[in-house]
C-alpha cells in the first residue's frame, strides 16, 4: 500500500534517467540553477547589506558626517533627534559624546594627503585657535586606547599648547621626542587615530549645532617615516 503511494507520487527526481523526457532533465538543471542563483543572490545581498551598514555606521557618509580634509565630524552625534546611523555609531563606539549642540568631535585616521596615520611616521599638525571655550587634540590607537609613552603625554588642549605669536600652533606627532609640542605616538608600530574635541563652540548653525569652519581644523602633514 505504502509502496504503491510512493511510486504514484509524480516526483521528477525519483524518475530513472531512461524514463525522463529530455525536457524534464532540462527543467531539473534549470531549477538547480535557479536555486544556485537564489543562494548566490542572498549571500551577495547579505554582504552588501551588512557591509554598507557597517561602513556607514563606522566611518560615516555624506548623510551623517562632514568631511574636511582628513577630519570627519558626525553632525548629530549624541543628539536625541539623531538619525539611525548616528545612533548606531554612538552605541557601537562605546563612547558618551556630548550632543553636537554642546560640543563637536572631529576624527582623523589619515594625514591631509590621505595616507593612514601610523606610528611609523612623523607628522606635523599645524592649526589655528578655535572659537570655543575649551578644545583638545588627543591621539589614540585604532581601538580608541591611549598610547603608552614615557612622558605620559596623551593630548594637548588650548591651555597647554605652546603657540606662535599669531596664536597658531604646531604639534609634532612622532614616536621619538621632538621640540615644541611633542605628542608621542608610542613605540608599537600601529595605525593611529587623532581626535579633536571642541567643547562649547561659540558659533552655531541654524539648528544650534556647533559650527567649526573647515579651514580652522589643523592640517596634518607627514614629515618622514622610519
Distance CA 176, CA 187 (A): 8
Residues 3-32 as x/- pattern, contact with another protein by CB under 8 A: ------------------------------
CA angle 212, 217, 219 (to 5 degrees): 170
Q: Which is nearer to another protein, 84 or 224 (CB)?
A: 84
Which of 66, 125, 76 minimizes the C-alpha distance to 101? 76
Among 35, 116, 144, 177, binds another protein (CB under 8 A): 144
**How many chain residues bind another protein (CB under 8 A)?**
61
Residues 104-143 as x/- pattern, contact with another protein by CB under 8 A: -----------------------------xx-x-x-x--x
Distance CA 45, CA 6 (A): 39
Q: Which is nearer to another protein, 45 or 177 (CB)?
A: 45
Residue with cell 596623551: 154
Annotate 137-178 with DSSP letters as a single string: EEEEETTS-----TT---EEETTT--B-TTS-EEEEEESS--
Please name the residues in contact with 172: beta carbons below 8 A apart, sequence gap of 6 or more. Answer: 122, 123, 124, 125, 178, 179, 180, 181, 182, 183
CB of 45 to another protein, least distance (A): 4
Among 21, 31, 37, 177, binds another protein (CB under 8 A): 37
Residue with cell 548616528: 86
Residues 43-82 as x/- pattern, contact with another protein by CB under 8 A: -xxx-xxx-xxx-xx--------------------xxx-x
Binding site for another protein (CB under 8 A): 33-34, 37-38, 40-42, 44-46, 48-50, 52-54, 56-57, 78-80, 82, 84-85, 87-88, 90-99, 101-103, 133-134, 136, 138, 140, 143-148, 152, 154-155, 157, 159-160, 193, 195, 197, 199-200
Amino acid at each position: 500500500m505504502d509502496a504503491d503511494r510512493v511510486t504514484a507520487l509524480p516526483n521528477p527526481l525519483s524518475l530513472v534517467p531512461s524514463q525522463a523526457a529530455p525536457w524534464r532533465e532540462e527543467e531539473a538543471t534549470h531549477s538547480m540553477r535557479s536555486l544556485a542563483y537564489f543562494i548566490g543572490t542572498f549571500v551577495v545581498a547579505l554582504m552588501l547589506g551588512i557591509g554598507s551598514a557597517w561602513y556607514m555606521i563606522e566611518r560615516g557618509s555624506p548623510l551623517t558626517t562632514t568631511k574636511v580634509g582628513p577630519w570627519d565630524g558626525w553632525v548629530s552625534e549624541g543628539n536625541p533627534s539623531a538619525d539611525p546611523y548616528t545612533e548606531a555609531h554612538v552605541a557601537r563606539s562605546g563612547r558618551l559624546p556630548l550632543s553636537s549642540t554642546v560640543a563637536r568631535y572631529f576624527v582623523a585616521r589619515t594625514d591631509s594627503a590621505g595616507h593612514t596615520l601610523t606610528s611609523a611616521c612623523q607628522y606635523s599638525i599645524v592649526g589655528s585657535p578655535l572659537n570655543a571655550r575649551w578644545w583638545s587634540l588627543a591621539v589614540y590607537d585604532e581601538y580608541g586606547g591611549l598610547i603608552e609613552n614615557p612622558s605620559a603625554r596623551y593630548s594637548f588642549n588650548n591651555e597647554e599648547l605652546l603657540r606662535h605669536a599669531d596664536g597658531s600652533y604646531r604639534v609634532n606627532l612622532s614616536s621619538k621626542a621632538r621640540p615644541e609640542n611633542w605628542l608621542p605616538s608610542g613605540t608599537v608600530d600601529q595605525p593611529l587615530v587623532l581626535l579633536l574635541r571642541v567643547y562649547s563652540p561659540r558659533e552655531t548653525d541654524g539648528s544650534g549645532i556647533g559650527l567649526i569652519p573647515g579651514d580652522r581644523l589643523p592640517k596634518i602633514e607627514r614629515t618622514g617615516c622610519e
